[in-house]
Amino acid sequence: MRKLQAMTEKTEELSFEAALSELEAIVRELESGQGDLDAAIAQYERGTNLKKQCQAKLESARMKVEKIMGESGGALQTEPLEDA
């Protein structure tokens, strides 16, 4: 199991890379099926918060890129990315 310290760190304080890495670790642990129910529920809740944080950071980055593209001459247009 991950250290308690990592679970108590606020998601807003994590970089995108750190949040994604922790989220991936949580998914692996939950998929393994090991551990007790209370720990799994806590991990799931933490994972949900990490996912929201990652999505927010990606959206913020997308908005910054669109702003940069719009400022560099005004002729560029953005198009929504297709879901992979």
Give me the number of domains the chain comprises: 1
pLDDT for 68 equals 76
- The token duo for 16 is 């995108």
Tell me how far apart the alpha carbons of residues 13 and 56 are, in angstroms, rounded to a whole number: 13
Q: Is residue 47 within 8 Å of residue 30, measured between CB atoms? A: yes
- Tens of pLDDT, residues 40-55: 999 999 999 999 999 9
User: Is 29 a domain residue?
Assistant: yes
Given a cut of 80, whether residue 76 has pLDDT beyond it is no
Range of the domain at 25: 4-70
User: Is 45 a domain residue?
Assistant: yes
pLDDT for 4 equals 38
User: Is 76 a domain residue?
Assistant: no
Q: What is the domain-level CATH number for residue 8?
A: 1.10.287
Side chain identity, residue 22: E
- Tell me how far apart the terminal alpha carbons of the chain are, to the nearest angstrom: 32
